[in-house]
Amino acid sequence: MSEILAQKKDLFEQDAGSAQNKIDSDTDHQADIFDLDGGAKFESTPDFQLEMESATDLESSVAEPIPQIEFFLPETNPEQPEDSDQLELDGMPKPVHWVGVDGLEQPARHQHARTLLESLEAQSIQIPYQCREGYCGSCRTQLIDGEVAYLEEPMAWINEGEILPCCCVPKGDIKIKVQS
């Protein structure tokens, strides 16, 4: 065992010595970048290549999603769905309901989104939320005009004239006032 080790050690030292000689003799030659068997030699990699690598590293770390990205809903715009699994009635597009928001000139539209909250978020109208299931009441919003339908019965307390956008859809055109 020790004999084999000793032999290997000798071989290694020879290799290292010859490689060092090569680098010392002609570092500028293109041929020297590769070993005889075609493998790239680490020692002779030009500096600029290293810089490029570090540059791409930087880029990829910027592009990498921040760890909490999964929490920011919705990831896709629910108001502009691609192919949906849902059967569309022939020749009948989903109706558009306009959602007037107090203090905004342009009304938001509700057509494809699953809930009113999703469609408002897709149009950059921020409403505080927590559970998104109708039990915490964080998204409580005033309904000024129109009617909404609940997809699931809301558990949080709602006063007269208030709605929970996280679990309802407009029945027609509506007007709301987002809590400040």
Asked whether position 129 contacts another protein by CB under 8 A, the answer is yes
Q: Give every CB contact of residue 148 below 8 A, 6+ residues apart in sequence.
A: 116, 163, 168, 169, 170, 171, 174
Asked whether position 113 contacts another protein by CB under 8 A, the answer is no
**Selected range binding another protein among 17-25, 40-48, 103-111, 155-163, rule: CB under 8 A:** 155-163
As a 3-state breakdown, the chain gives helix, strand, coil percent values, each rounded to 5, of 35, 15, 50
Q: Which is nearer to another protein, 48 or 157 (CB)?
A: 157
Q: Give every CB contact of residue 22 below 8 A, 6+ residues apart in sequence.
A: 32
Rounded-to-integer distance, Cα 19 and Cα 150, Å: 76
* Options 32, 98, 111, 135; binder of another protein; rule CB under 8 A: 135
**Selected range binding another protein among 53-61, 70-78, 86-94, 103-111, rule: CB under 8 A:** 70-78
Asked whether position 67 contacts another protein by CB under 8 A, the answer is yes
Tokens 């050690």 — which residue?
9
**Which stretches of the chain bind another protein, using CB under 8 A?**
67-68, 70-73, 128-133, 135-138, 140, 153, 155-157, 159, 179-180
